Amino acid sequence: MVKHTATSVVTIERFIIEQERLVPEASGALSSILYDIALAAKMIASKVRRAGLVDILGAMETQNVQGEIQQKLDVFANETIIKAMDHTGRLCAMASEEVPDIIPIPDNFKRGNYVLLFDPLDGSSNIDVNVPVGTIFSVMRKITRGADGEMEDMLQPGRRQVAAGYIIYGSSTMLVYTTGGGVHGFTLDPSIGEFLLSHPDIKIPTRGRYLSVNDSYEQFWDENVKALMRRYRGLDGHQKAMSVRYVGSLVADFHRNMLGGGIFAYPSNRQAPKGKLRLLYEANPLAFIAKEAGGAAYDGTEEILDVQPTELHQRTPLYIGSRDDIATAREFLSRQLATVG
């Protein structure tokens, strides 16, 4: 990998090309997918930035463009990604958190050898209170024979991903991705409309400062989870208490823990026995990124990346972040649960 420092001005386009040149057999298709995602991200960022003005702008736009229906931002983000990707000839199908079934490539467009799965705007309910939200994406190679993507192409274990990333629309807009050669962060410079390399080769600290969990569900957790959270909080005298940081937006919580170290936990609970977060386009891409950054991701039973998916929108419990904090989770969650007598 070409070594860059955070001070050299490297656009995401230049970085993607440099990365591609390290893979002699690369066709350029994956690079093209990443460019197109960066373009869609800029378009979504522009709209999210103005979200607070929607009522004002909405009124103006309605006066100027009669009949324009102010779209919900997650619908806008979903359509922006689909329109940016469906005609490029790189994909054979897509899947989105916003769409029940596989999204086929329109008949008049060429098919490619990759599938793209994404959550167009995770945490969008936070927009009204100006909490950062994010887009999460995952890319895998097609494994079925025909030209069109099929469900089997989507239901591959996370270890089969060839690229994964997220965009966080926060105090600044950042795109963070991996293709298996480390994790790299790019910050959007709105004055020139370019993502510039700002966080080369991100490594997550092996043990974290932050614990991100919604403990209002404590009453629904099993005893092992409760004991694990007491450990993280330093209440059993075995470690220093972690600082609790939880904004209720997965990408924001994950990104902070990536840079500062920590663990994000959304355990299964009696109300949500399979957890809440989605495996294919939330847990898997973030697990690939965490692994590439020296961290880990676990579902309470096995590595997230080893889970064999069975449904497009299946949910999963999620423990993700610093390597040693995940090891603690494995230790506690593999204990035999006392059977209720």
**Which spans in the chain are helix H?**
12-21, 29-49, 54-64, 73-85, 151-154, 223-232, 250-260, 284-292, 323-333
CA nearest to 43, candidates 9, 83, 10: 83
Least CB distance from residue 258 to ligand P6P, whole Å?
14
Stretch that binds ligand P6P, among 247-255, 298-306, 309-317, 329-337 (CB under 6 A): 247-255
Stretch that binds ligand P6P, among 64-72, 118-126, 236-244, 283-291 (CB under 6 A): 118-126
314 binds ligand P6P (CB under 6 A): no
Q: Is 107 left (phi over 0), alpha (psi -120 to 50) or beta?
A: alpha
CB 320 within 8 Å of CB 293: no
Least CB distance from residue 251 to ligand P6P, whole Å?
7
Least CB distance from residue 122 to ligand P6P, whole Å?
5
97 binds ligand P6P (CB under 6 A): no
Stretch that binds ligand P6P, among 75-83, 121-129, 159-167, 299-307 (CB under 6 A): 121-129
Handedness of CA 128, 133, 139, 144 (dihedral sign): negative
Single-letter code of the amino acid located at 282: E
Least CB distance from residue 27 to ligand P6P, whole Å?
34
Site for ligand P6P in 207-226 (CB under 6 A): 214
CB 129 within 8 Å of CB 135: no
262 binds ligand P6P (CB under 6 A): no
250 binds ligand P6P (CB under 6 A): yes
Strand partners, 11: 196
Between CA 220 and CA 336, with CA 239 as vertex, the angle to 5 degrees is 45
98 binds ligand P6P (CB under 6 A): no
283 binds ligand P6P (CB under 6 A): no
122 binds ligand P6P (CB under 6 A): yes
Residues in contact with ligand P6P by the rule CB under 6 A: 122-123, 125, 214, 248-250, 276
